[in-house]
Amino acid sequence: MSFLEYNVRYTPAGLRKVLYFNWFLVLLLMAVAAVGFLMLYSVAGGSLEPWAKPQMQRFALGMGLMFVVGFIPVWFWRSVSGLAYLTALVLLVLVELVGEAGMGAQRWLNLGFMRLQPSELAKIALVMVLAAYYDWLDLSRVSRPLWLLPPLALIGLPTALVLRQPDLGTALLLVAGGGAVMFFAGVSLFYFLAVAILGAGLVVAVFLSRGTGWQLLKDYQYGRIDTFLDPSRDPLGAGYHITQSKIALGSGGWTGRGFMQGTQTRLNFLPEKHTDFIFTTLAEEFGFIGGASLLTLYVAIIVFCVISALRNRNRYSSLLTLGIAMTFFFYFAVNMAMVMGLVPVVGVPLPLVSYGGSAMLVLMLGFGLVQSAHVHRARRK
Amino acid sequence: MRRSPGDTARSVRTISRRALMLGGAQLLLVGGLAARMRFLQVDEADKYRLLADENRINIRLLPPARGLIYDRRGVLLAGNEQNYRIVIVREDVGDIETAVARLATLVRLDPEQTEQAIREMKRRSPFVPVTIAERASWEEVARVAVNAPVLPGIGPEVGLSRVYPLGEDFAHVVGYVGPVSDYDLERIDDKDPLLQIPRFQVGKYGVERRLERVLRGSAGTRQIEVNAVGRVMRELDRKEGIPGKNVQLSVDQALQNFVQARLALDQESASAVVMDVENGDLLAVGSTPSFDPNKFVHGISSKDYNALLENPYRPLANKAVQGAYPPGSTFKMVVALTALAEGVIEPEEQITCTGYIEASGRRFHCWRRGGHGRVDLVKSLRESCDVYYYDIAQRVGIEKIGAMARRLGLGMKHDLPLSGVAHGLIPTKTWKRERRGAEWLIGDTINAGIGQGYVLTSPLQLAVMTARIASGRAVTPRLVRSLDGIEVPPQEAPPLDIDPEHLAIVRRGMYEVLYGQRGTARQSRIADEDRLLAGKTGTSQVRNITAAERAEGVIRNEDLPWERRDHALFVSYAPYEAPKYTVTVVAEHGGGGSTAAAPIARDIMLFALHGKLPPLSAYPSSQRRQMRELFSRLDLRAPVAPSQGRGRA
């Protein structure tokens, strides 16, 4: 049995596990969530409704979920990795069939008590199943082409389903998260180099093909790219988000306008000010110092996860922790880059800060897994 | 699967190495993000802060209340009324069509405006209030208010709109305002941001137009915080505008009303000017037919406008100042004064009138075919002998006559805040050469001698002329008495450079016109000894009488179609001994000055002198019954009380 490789004797049991949780991580998560509450309160014009209060309730629920998941031994999670992945796939198919359209894409599954976004769940499930795969796979086979096919298929299936919704942001996060786990597992750098070169070539081809007979993208898609590269082309249309976001950010300066003093976000210049663009509120009201502080908190979370992973001698636990940390990293990095006008606007929330149920709960579930791996790691005594 | 310790160690090594590689890459990315944040928030902060403030603050204009216009006694001529509009806010309304249908059961909706409103609603942002019914009655507003619960997004709104309580009486003087048009914006060089407000009311005609700057006032501003879609969040600052100045005109409401009614009584198209001889105040400037200026305020319908345009009696024209007519015999005082001043004739000198004179092979007839016999200056005025003036006009020449005419206020544009003030025409030899390309002929001088030919004057100019003859001073007309309670001083009236004896003899002639046995306007004399009238009739031809017509006998005016009949003119002043007012009446195609214009002038003069309908004793006893009957036919307005508070209202 696989759990034999964990040194059970040195693993805390029962309620004593609480002491072995990574409490720094817990504190960091609470700090980031608190920033979110403040911002949602401010965006609502100094009111707990309609965003801050539900967000707090969800975070409390998420905290509970994290502890429950953390208490459950990590080997249990490894054994249900495949099942979790299958469940996520089924949900993605379901959303395709009976899902509710929100923000122009089919993403939601109404469960009665909450609206679930299966694509969020898929991110964690994918990391789990890939970690389990590479834990099972003999180390010498990791870079063999044939053994690359299963993980590629595992990444490809949910990605294809998410793209159909269409949700480009989540699809990219899935590919990046899955790719990261493959990278950590030791897949030869040659493959990653090849993919990078291929990707660059594809981008060049896309641009070169424009206006020719074999044009690769539709005209409106080129239009979006143009708008991203030069938002002033369409200041009231698609470029509007980027321009307004930069104005809000830039007007913050070093120290910002002060809590609840932000004009740009509060006055609805920014659409989705409480979800994807909430970082602009922070940056406007607390300036560079506020923005940099949040960034530091995020980096600290990553660092704690990496340290935890490196101290864990179990392959599944390490890969799982690093994969979840990487997914988390992609979340905030892409969101911030988007808000700052570095990448096109794709729907990626700012983790733990943006208003939204699914992403919050799924992330807390993910950190629960990280805690589980942390608590149940083999301890040398 | 259980691993060997070696495998585990290898796995940990790989993972650590890869984690450090990716960790380094992550740090690079985070560093990039931080650098970008610093660039936007620190290096470019000023630029974006500026953009942010522009985003946020919006300046809206507060239209000022337009200045009010009063008559000399403080009667309101042009005011502002609260105008109730029914507005719809699309985002609150739900389905527009249902809402409009429901509203239509409560309020009278103009289908054209409704359609326009629906179109506008669909075009504009959903929270912008769109006017669906204008000038809603109080009942309609009340009905909408009572039904507010079932009419979400529909409500009454109040604004100021111009109103002319006296309607037609002052249409030509006060004029009217109308919604500013693109055409106006192109034409006038006015940077006032108020003009950019849709349907902002600007003066289009008359005093409203000429004193636009004074009446308009200046805009207030409201600094508001708006969001990206333009919805008002809150007001940051408010600067009230400066209301337009109130204007008090020299006109008298009661007299103006009488003038309009009297002119309309037996003339199709006529005008009259009543002027104070002393200070030049215009007490009434009448022109009939008139129109209702209130129709223009919200934009007149093309049907109504075309009706006004196609009316042959030209209701839109203010004939009293815009009309230019040959003065006819009313010009004879000018010629007489010129001849006296040049010494070409003595007042007692007699000229024989045989009914015509011959000059350069043409015959110029006197109006009295049999001639007047021996005629001196007073008789020439009293009986309006043409031959006398043919003679003296030739003696002094056109240039001297023109100079005297201009000294008396003819052939010049008087500076009044009215639309289209006529310049008139006092011809000179140079004028004819330049404009007509022909040499001045002796016949032209002869025609000018009796105010025919090229000479053109407006009723206003004739009034000024009469006032100057009556007072001996260079009186100038004045229409605006005060602005915001501060009096506009009347222009100084220096004595005319005319021998008082010459003026006296001409005045004597004008007195004889009414009181001489053969005076041309004897029928229109005033019996009241204290209010004796002096005047001069004029009948100006608008057609040439051909030799053939003359051979057949001159056709009587009444037998001609209206537009070919003569213009009837009468200039007058009273009291003869101490002149107070001058009254000029011009009846377009009205026939003879003595029969058509003089009786009207007398009635107006008496009303002006009495300040109300005169007692019948002012009329010769033989005419009193006739006058009582005439008064009963007058359509006069009930007396209007002056508004309280002559200052701001």
Residues contacting B472, CB < 8 A, separation 6+? B495, B496, B498, B500, B503
Higher pLDDT, A238 or A68: A68
Q: Which of residues 171-210 of A touch B (CB under 8 A)?
A: 180, 183-186
pTM score over 0.90: no
The answer to whether residue A265 neighbours chain B at the CB level (below 8 Å) is no
Instruction: Provide the CATH topology of domain B253-289+315-480+493-633.
Output: Beta-lactamase (3.40.710)
Q: Å from B12 to nearest chain A CA? A: 6
Q: Which of residues 334-353 of A touch B (CB under 8 A)?
A: 336-337, 340, 342
Beta bridge partners of B220: B62
Higher pLDDT, A257 or A118: A118
pLDDT in tens, A120-150: 889 999 999 999 999 888 888 888 888 989 9
Q: Å from A92 to nearest chain B CA? A: 30
Q: Given an 8 Å threshold on Cβ–Cβ distance, is A340 in contact with B45?
A: no
Contacts of B19 in chain A (CB under 8 A): 184, 306, 309-310, 322
pLDDT in tens, A172-192: 889 999 999 999 998 888 999
The domain segmentation of chain B, as residue ranges, is: 51-75+166-249, 82-164, 253-289+315-480+493-633
Output the pLDDT for position B635. 86
The answer to whether residue A319 neighbours chain B at the CB level (below 8 Å) is yes
Give the residue ranges of chain B where pLDDT is below 50: 1, 646-649
Q: Given an 8 Å threshold on Cβ–Cβ distance, is B30 in contact with A333?
A: yes
The answer to whether residue A139 neighbours chain B at the CB level (below 8 Å) is yes
Output the pLDDT for position B83. 81
Instruction: pLDDT band for A103, please (50, 70, 90 cuts).
Output: very low
The answer to whether residue B125 neighbours chain A at the CB level (below 8 Å) is no
User: How many helices and strands (H and E) does chain B possess?
Assistant: 24, 21
A&B contacts, CB < 8 Å: 147
Three-class HEC string of B82-125 = EEEEEEEEHHHHCCHHHHHHHHHCCCCCCHHHHHHHHHHHHHCC
- As for the ipTM of the complex, it is 0.86
The answer, yes or no, to whether residue A265 has pLDDT greater than 70, is: no
Contacts of B16 in chain A (CB under 8 A): 310
Q: Given an 8 Å threshold on Cβ–Cβ distance, is A288 in contact with B41?
A: yes
pLDDT in tens, A5-19: 555 556 777 788 888
The C-alpha atoms of residue B367 and residue B385 are separated, in whole angstroms, by 7
Residue of A nearest to B226 (CA): A267
The C-alpha atoms of residue B87 and residue B83 are separated, in whole angstroms, by 12
The answer, yes or no, to whether residue A2 has pLDDT greater than 50, is: no
* Residue in A185, A268, A340 closest to B37 by CB: A340
Q: Å from B142 to nearest chain A CA? A: 35
What's the CATH number of domain B51-75+166-249, 3.90.1310.10, 3.40.190.10, 1.10.1040.10, 3.40.50.300? Answer: 3.90.1310.10
Residue of A nearest to B6 (CA): A139
Q: With CA atoms as reference, report the closest residue to B448 among B536, B329, B324.
A: B329
The reply to whether B419 belongs to the active site is no
Q: Given an 8 Å threshold on Cβ–Cβ distance, is A306 in contact with B225?
A: no
Q: With CA atoms as reference, report the closest residue to B56 among B238, B223, B237.
A: B223
What is the per-residue DSSP string for A138-163? -GGGTT-HHHHHHHHHHHHHHHHHHH
Q: Given an 8 Å threshold on Cβ–Cβ distance, is A249 in contact with B37?
A: yes
Q: Given an 8 Å threshold on Cβ–Cβ distance, is A269 in contact with B228?
A: yes
Instruction: pLDDT band for A158, please (50, 70, 90 cuts).
Output: very high
- Active-site option among B271, B287, B329, B419: B329
